[in-house]
Amino acid sequence: MPDWFEKLLTFIKLPLKYLWVASLFSGVTLFLPIEAIEVLGLDIILEKYRSWLGTLFLFTTCLVLAELFQILYRKLKSNRLKSKQLDKFLERLYQLDPHEKSVIREFFIQQRNTLQLPFDNATVSGLLNYGVLQISSSSGERSRVGTLVAIKMTSKADNLITQDMIDLPDLDSLNESDKNWIKNNRPEFTLEIDRHNSTFHRSW
């Protein structure tokens, strides 16, 4: 392989910031008014190496534009993928079943960011797998309803879930019928968790 070709390959692999410098330097030397070139002391370089500077400018500018195009393409592709994933996640939120809604309602009812929940419960486990909930502590304890750990909603779910999605009435204007409905539609393990905490004086 010719020596000049190896040097060309090495040059092409330079980071984008170095290509910018080469493109800017050659461009400035070629296109600045001659008075400015003389003030900068670049007139000798321009006189001796004009053709090389022209080649360098075209070559590095093309490399920079190609690299920028690839960056832009990857960014757009990443944004499309994120948008598609978000749409799929939002669609899943609108398909929550009554048991899943009851678990999520607890965060609103208790007005807490983190709750003590049985992570091995089928409904809770499903919400963890879907990315709606996440475990926020590595410690836990056994109870009659499963292993209780500190669990919170993921930031993605927290930003998207509304009270309408989980059939929750306005908590600021509850009537007696609303209160009874909420009481009768809480997760089946709620009372046992309250009993467990009361018995063992566990703070979460």
pLDDT digits (tens, 9 = 90+) for 112-121: 999 999 999 9
Antiparallel, parallel or unpaired: β 114-118 and 133-143 = unpaired
Q: To the nearest whole number, what is the mean pLDDT of the chain?
A: 83
Q: In this model, does residue 37 exceed pLDDT 80?
A: no
Residue 105, pLDDT score: 95
Average pLDDT over residues 149-169: 93
Q: How many CB atoms lie within 10 A of CB 96?
A: 21
Q: How many CB atoms lie within 10 A of CB 136?
A: 13
pLDDT in tens, 64-117: 888 888 889 999 998 899 899 999 999 999 999 999 999 999 999 999 999 999
- 119 alpha-carbon distance from chain centroid: 24
pTM (whole model) above 0.75: no
Tokens of 154: 């993921």
Q: Yes or no: say if 115 and 151 are a contact pair by the CB < 8 Å rule.
A: yes
